[in-house]
Amino acid sequence: MAANSISHCFSLSITILFLYLLLVHCNVTYDRKAIAIDGQKRILFSGSIHYPRSTPEMWEGLIQKAKNGGLDVIDTYVFWNLHEPSPGNYNFEGRYDLVQFIKLVKKAGLYVHLRIGPYICGEWNFGGFPVWLKYVPGISFRTDNEPFKKAMAKFTQKIVQMMKDENLFESQGGPIILSQIENEYEPESKLYGPAGKAYVKWAAKMAVGLNTGVPWVMCKEYDAPDPVINTCNGFYCDYFSPNKPYKPTLWTEAWTGWFSDFGGPNYQRPVEDLAFAVARFIQKGGSFVNYYMYHGGTNFGRTAGGPFITTSYDYDAPIDEYGLIRQPKYDHLKELHKAIKLCEKALLNSDPNIVILGSYEKAHVFSSESGGCAAFLSNYNLRSNAKVTFNNIHYNLPRWSISILPDCRNVVFNTAKVGTEASRVQMVPTNVKIESWETFNEDVHSVDDESSMTVKGLLEQLNITRDTSDYLWYTTSVRISSSESFPRKGTPLTLSIQTAGHGIHVFINGQLSGSAFGTQQKRKFSFTKNINLHPGENKISILSIAVGLPVCSLIKKHIFIDFLFFVLPISCSGLFCCL
């Protein structure tokens, strides 16, 4: 009798443990309609919040605001150059504490899309690559190149193992439901040809082989090999379809605004247009939308990419750079999410029946076998409102808008009708004690610093500084004979400098002569100015300034031309000096 009791207790314990494991360790799969978490298909709204673009003290509040805004998922890149500043030396402290950030997302009850890359673009310095990678012998970036693939695999494996050690994948009971390998590679793949295609296949196989238990995606990569899901990035993605009919339609970057560059405008995207784009994507069959950015934040220190990306990465996001809610964008999107979630069952269990209502007007009607019905009534006319009849009911559709009817009768949301006033931020006195300010200060060494070299020919700034500084001095000297007449007459010479750099300050005999710089739109520039030289030795010094290393399509193989400064010995002819 005692033995039977023990046996029954043991069996009960095993059963309870098994049920517990089933509840905790969920599978993430997909079909043509959606991502499924533990067998349940979901329409998921996500938002990009990059952990190093805010402070650890802000993280929990940002995540909670995202949840309150109707998001299900937090999306973040992983920043290789922050985490491995030199080969084999890792940093995951403070703002770089990726594990802590993900744990806070889990604490809030949200999921994570971990975009490992490790190339990320993101207007981030060097596209997220550590500069030391450029100097690995025989390396060519983002192609079928063994040195690059070795380094990329090592870092990717490092991040995946960290996540596994902390049980952070959904298959382990954690919040990570998706991971991304590479980033917006399709344009590069076409340039590289067969080597690019081979690299894509290798990257997909390497990632899937890490056995994370969650799907992998490749954004803007039409040839993403199975089982990797190809996804869309852009202002609009209703045109997009995955490369296989059994893959879901995912939008990994719905751009809420745009980044800023020095001298450029601060771009804004009206929330009416953003909501219209999202509703249009959902009615087309989309089931995952990630807002890039939901909180843009700040490019601290020297992390801004380039050239000429600003320190602010506000992005006109629903949560602004400082963590404040931006209205009406935040509330309008929140109401959109509520409306679409009311339609979730019909959307995921049926395909749309498209009804033409007019020249620019359509109805996408979803009717499930269980009797659920949802409709999206759209007006694509940019200029004129419309009146339509659907199911014998009359509806008014503002221009360039979509109305959402979760029951095929009653409108609960229209993308063009904004009910929240714009944010009006006011600065008020506070009694909060500020303990300290953190500042970034880079020492610009004197032109006479001992760590100098003398060379003939072209110098590339990045090869000299290895990105330890944004500044580099170039110096040459000109000897003027006492027999020359122009110094006595006070006739100036003309100094001309042609450069593909970012900015320069020019000094003649220790005195500032002038400055010049390029822009995001016009990279190459020149400096031409009259200068006064005296008989004897004259020193011409140029302080070269780098404003962020190249990102995105500027990174080709391992060759960079942005930092070539054409600094040659000066020759003077008549009244003209050419540098």
Cis peptide bond N-terminal to 535, omega within 30: no
**H or E element in which residue 36 lies:** strand 35-37
- Establish whether 184 is a catalytic residue: yes
The single residue of 170, 253, 321, 361 carrying the catalytic annotation is 253
- Cα–Cα distance, 387 to 394 (Å, whole number): 7
Q: At 193, phi and psi to the nearest 5?
A: 70, -135
The angle formed by the CA atoms of residues 410, 412 and 413, to the nearest 5 degrees, is 130
**H or E element in which residue 279 lies:** helix 271-283
Residue 214 DSSP code = S
Q: At 394, phi and psi to the nearest 5?
A: -90, 140
Residue 352 DSSP code = P
* Helices and strands (H, E) in the chain, number of each type: 12, 28
- Cα–Cα distance, 127 to 145 (Å, whole number): 18
The angle formed by the CA atoms of residues 77, 78 and 83, to the nearest 5 degrees, is 155
Q: Position 450: which residue type?
A: E
The single residue of 84, 170, 182, 184 carrying the catalytic annotation is 184
The angle formed by the CA atoms of residues 241, 210 and 98, to the nearest 5 degrees, is 85
For the residues of 220-278, what is the DSSP string, one character each?
T-TTPPTTSEEEEEES--TT---SSTTS--EEEEEESS---BTTS------HHHHHHHH
- Residues constituting the chain: 579
With b for 16 or more beta-carbon neighbours within 10 A and e for fewer, the 480-500 pattern comes to beeeeeebeeeeebebebebe
Q: Position 88: which residue type?
A: G
Q: At 383, phi and psi to the nearest 5?
A: -115, -30
Positions annotated as catalytic residues are 184, 253
